[in-house]
Amino acid sequence: MSRNVLVRPLRSDWPSHPYDMAIATVGYEQRARYAFQALRPTARIKLACGFESQQVFEYRPNCEWFESEGFRTEHKTDKDYKAWLNSVLGELSPDGQRANVLVDISSVTRVRLAHILVTLREFSSIPLSVNFVYSLAAFTPPPPEAQANSHVGPVTPEFAGWWEEPDRSVVTVVGLGYEQDKALGAVEHLQSAEIWTFTPTSEVREYSPAVYEANRTLLESVPPDHQLGYFVQDPFDCFTKLESLVYGISRTSNPVLIPFGPKIFSLCSMLVGLMHIEAPVWRVSAEGQEPPVNREASGFVYGLEVSFG
């Protein structure tokens, strides 16, 4: 990963930009198509990649909608997704001009989000200006039972990080979601010397009490000055807080980022991981054992603008 990365706030007029390429996800959630259907951004090349499994709920209607709007649809495994990305990015004209790309991350998995960022960073034909957008889901109650974690480790090998002094103490920076005690289990697995938490607040207010209740035990053990908040509607502020904290931690300790919660926090965490090799980004997952949930769009869309190269 050799190219520079520059992060900016997403401009409010992003839907009206002319894009060279738009990349969507065919998922089983209703919100998978919301940003494109409601805000109508246009692009010269339109692509929508789905999954070979869990084609339930809105999967088929989403696929049919994207196809009706001129998107080329594919259905790939996570293993094949990065190769697919490399192939489609090759369709951008290598004329030396910056290409404008739109990526909707609302329904991607964290593994695919990691592949997207790494592939964009490694793409060397032309500079890229990429608008990442995220459709916040309307509130649905958290799952009644937590599934046992079967994967605890770097989200992909490229995010394993590298510590210059492995004997330093580990400091965990964890984004909180509303899965019961998931963050607590991850922190205990790492046996961290120090913990920082990032708690989301959004315009869908039902999430806040659910997040607190799911993480009550962890929050009671973390000093108040290590409990940070962020607004989902201001991902650039979240990114700058996170990047500044990781920079400070890495001067004396070894940071680990664990992004639970809204996908926009995962985006911020992985961007920080691209910029700071000393900050691995971990994924904690039940590996497909969680029951699928058809999340509908709340009507709020946020994002970041990222330049590669």
> What are the tens digits of pLDDT across the range 152-194?
899 999 999 999 999 999 999 999 999 888 899 899 999 999 9
Quick one: 114 and 25 in the same domain?
yes
Quick one: 226 and 119 in the same domain?
no
The predicted pLDDT at position 107 comes to: 97
Quick one: 48 and 116 in the same domain?
yes
Is the confidence at residue 145, as pLDDT, over 80?
A: no
Structure tokens at 245: 């904290």
- Domain count of the chain? 2
Residue 179 belongs to what domain range? 151-285
For the beta carbon of residue 37, count every other beta carbon within 10 angstroms.
15
Kindly state the helix (H) or strand (E) to which residue 77 belongs, with its residue range: none
Q: Looking at residue 243, which CATH number applies to its domain?
A: 3.40.50.11700
Largest CA distance in the chain: 56
The predicted pLDDT at position 65 comes to: 98
The average pLDDT across 244-273 equals: 98
What residues contact residue 113 under an 8 Å CB cut-off, 6+ apart?
105, 155, 263, 266, 267, 270
Quick one: 9 and 125 in the same domain?
yes
Is the confidence at residue 31, as pLDDT, over 70?
A: yes
- Residue-wise pLDDT for 186-228, tens only, equals 999 999 999 999 999 999 999 999 999 999 999 999 999 999 9
User: Would 143 be classed as within a structural domain?
Assistant: no
- Residue-wise pLDDT for 8-22, tens only, equals 999 999 999 999 999
The predicted pLDDT at position 19 comes to: 96
- CA separation for the pair 101, 129 (Å, rounded): 6
Q: What is the mean pLDDT of the chain?
A: 95
The predicted pLDDT at position 146 comes to: 67
The average pLDDT across 291-309 equals: 96
Quick one: 123 and 160 in the same domain?
no
Q: Looking at residue 86, which CATH number applies to its domain?
A: 3.40.50
User: Would 104 be classed as within a structural domain?
Assistant: yes
Quick one: 134 and 256 in the same domain?
no
Phi/psi at 80 (5° precision): -95, -5
The predicted pLDDT at position 290 comes to: 84
The predicted pLDDT at position 285 comes to: 85
The predicted pLDDT at position 151 comes to: 82
From the centroid of its chain, how far is CA 156?
A: 13
The predicted pLDDT at position 288 comes to: 67
pLDDT band, very low/low/confident/very high, at 93 (cuts 50, 70, 90): confident
Quick one: 214 and 112 in the same domain?
no
The average pLDDT across 288-301 equals: 92
The predicted pLDDT at position 1 comes to: 38
pLDDT band, very low/low/confident/very high, at 25 (cuts 50, 70, 90): very high
Quick one: 163 and 276 in the same domain?
yes
Quick one: 127 and 35 in the same domain?
yes
Quick one: 90 and 156 in the same domain?
no
Radius of gyration for the chain, computed over Cα atoms and rounded to the nearest angstrom: 19
pTM (two decimals): 0.97
Quick one: 24 and 132 in the same domain?
yes
Quick one: 61 and 106 in the same domain?
yes
Structure tokens at 269: 């965490």
The average pLDDT across 72-86 equals: 97
The predicted pLDDT at position 2 comes to: 43
User: Would 103 be classed as within a structural domain?
Assistant: yes
